[in-house]
Structure 1
Amino acid sequence: MKMLLRVCLIAALLICYILLSCALEHEKRKGEEFQSPDKDTDRNIKVKRNYTTANDKRAKAGTPRKMVKKTGSKKLAVSTRSDISCTRLGGICQSNRYICQGRYLKDKCSGPKTRQCCMPVGAWSILCAGHHNNRVRACDVHGCGAFNSRRGNDPHKAVDLVCDDYGIVNTPFSGSLAGPVSRKDPAGNQYDGVKLLSDVHCVKIFNIRPYRYIGPVSQGEALGYLLPLQERFSGITSHLELQMCDGTDPSPFI
């Protein structure tokens, strides 16, 4: 009887040991399964970081540079315009489809090219001292002084302004004197004068004797004096000749 009890006790202990071992093994496996996703996640995070870093490097290396359009060896510059260039000259910026009492100047206003600077009449000061305005020479026995009036077979591409012999001639606008000028008419008569230019205007003033031929001058400053014409042309109206350098009509400015 005692022997049977010992055998049963030993068998029970073995069964308990086996069950305990199985339980421990099961718990161990559950612990490994619980930890394995974290490891995989860490591994995936590392892989993603490496992939992102590699892509960033490739993106930086492959980033295209900003292209600068060139014409020859010079870079194209975007020109900007404003109304200041017009207003400081006394003009008004408006569409050129409107009537301008004076003359339109191009490239002095902002916006489209059809928006131009309208210069008013009388933008220049009086040239001949002692006169109240710039009076255009009327027709006499030697011709007429208006722009495009007939001079033989050619039109007169200048304006004659009435002045007194030896009278003072004033500067019509501020600018710089650019040296002496001269011209001959079809009859061979020579007329001397001086060139005056600014950022906007360029004129040649004939039949005067300037005090100097080079240097800056201010509007209204004494420029020289009128040379007499009566000795060569009896009965002619004494005048100076005002000619734009580009051959256009100076009448809107005077």
Structure 2
Amino acid sequence: MKKSTWYIIGTTTLLFLIMGTKKAFAKITANQNLRTCDLHGCGSFGASRGNRKHNGIDIITVPGEKIMSPISGTVTRYPYPYGNDLSYTGIEIVNSEYKIKMFYLKPIAPIGSTVFAGKIIGVSQNIAAKYSTAMTNHVHLEVYKKQGTNWILIDPTNLF
């Protein structure tokens, strides 16, 4: 091969190693283990929920565990996973590229505040108190990517 071909291959490989291995999101827990399946279902994106699909991923937590923001952005609201049970809360964070919703955590970052990836935004709640110990404690995470003026739900599994 020509010297210029080797230069192109080497440069491309170097760029991939530098840029291609950077993940888009910070971990939300130190261990970042995904909930597999238990008696209440599976925690993977797209898992069956009867007549619908699971819109996010579930990351295993211990009640009271510190939860970090996966992205830098603005806290826009505190959504509730259950309209009839306001004891379980969540947080929504938005930036120019992503919107994330996390449930089963008690937020400590105020609405309107700027948060940074990897910094504490809340503590996990005890979801097993609602569903029994047959459900693994976890924080639920949904990710939406901006496309034009719309937010499109995406699989966040490989963003960490």
Instruction: Give the TM-score normalised by structure 1.
Output: 0.48
Residues 1-150 of structure 1 mapped to structure 2, 5 A cutoff: 120=21, 122-128=23-29, 130-131=30-31, 134-150=32-48
Residues 126-205 of structure 1 mapped to structure 2, 5 A cutoff: 126-128=27-29, 130-131=30-31, 134-184=32-82, 191-205=88-102
Cα gap change, 1:189 to 1:219, in 2 (>3 Å): same
In 2: Cα distance, 1:218 partner to 1:179 partner: 16
In 1: Cα distance, 2:101 partner to 2:20 partner: 20
The structure with the greater share of residues assigned to strand is: 2
Does the 8 Å CA contact 1:120/1:252 hold for their aligned counterparts? Answer: no
Partner of 2:158: helix, strand, or coil? helix
In 1: Cα distance, 2:140 partner to 2:59 partner: 6
In 1: Cα distance, 2:27 partner to 2:113 partner: 21
- The aligned amino acid for 1:169 is I
Partner of 2:123: helix, strand, or coil? strand
Does the 8 Å CA contact 1:208/1:227 hold for their aligned counterparts? Answer: yes
Percent identity over the alignment?
A: 23
Q: How far did 1:183 drift?
A: 2.9
User: What are the superposed Cα offsets for residues 85-124 of structure 1, whole Å, 9 maximum, x if unpaired?
Assistant: xxxxxxx89xxxxxxxxxxxxxxxxxxxxxxxx9757431
The structure with the greater share of residues assigned to helix is: 1
| Number of equivalences | 134
In 2: Cα distance, 1:200 partner to 1:119 partner: 18
Q: How far did 1:249 drift?
A: 0.9
In 2: Cα distance, 1:158 partner to 1:232 partner: 19
Q: How far did 1:252 drift?
A: 2.1
Provide the residue aligned with 1:250 in structure 2: 156
Provide the residue aligned with 2:117 in structure 1: 219
* Alignment match of 2:139 (pick from 229, 240, 245): 240
- The aligned amino acid for 2:54 is H
| Higher relative contact order (CA closer than 8 Å, sequence separation 6+) | 2
> CA RMSD for the aligned pairs?
2.3
Q: How far did 1:207 drift?
A: 0.8
- The aligned amino acid for 2:113 is G
User: What are the superposed Cα offsets for residues 54-86 of structure 1, whole Å, 9 maximum, x if unpaired?
Assistant: xxxxxxxxxxxxxxxxxxxxxxxxxxxxxxxxx
Provide the residue aligned with 1:72 in structure 2: none
- The aligned amino acid for 1:198 is N
Q: How far did 1:224 drift?
A: 0.4
In 1: Cα distance, 2:21 partner to 2:74 partner: 22
Partner of 2:130: helix, strand, or coil? coil
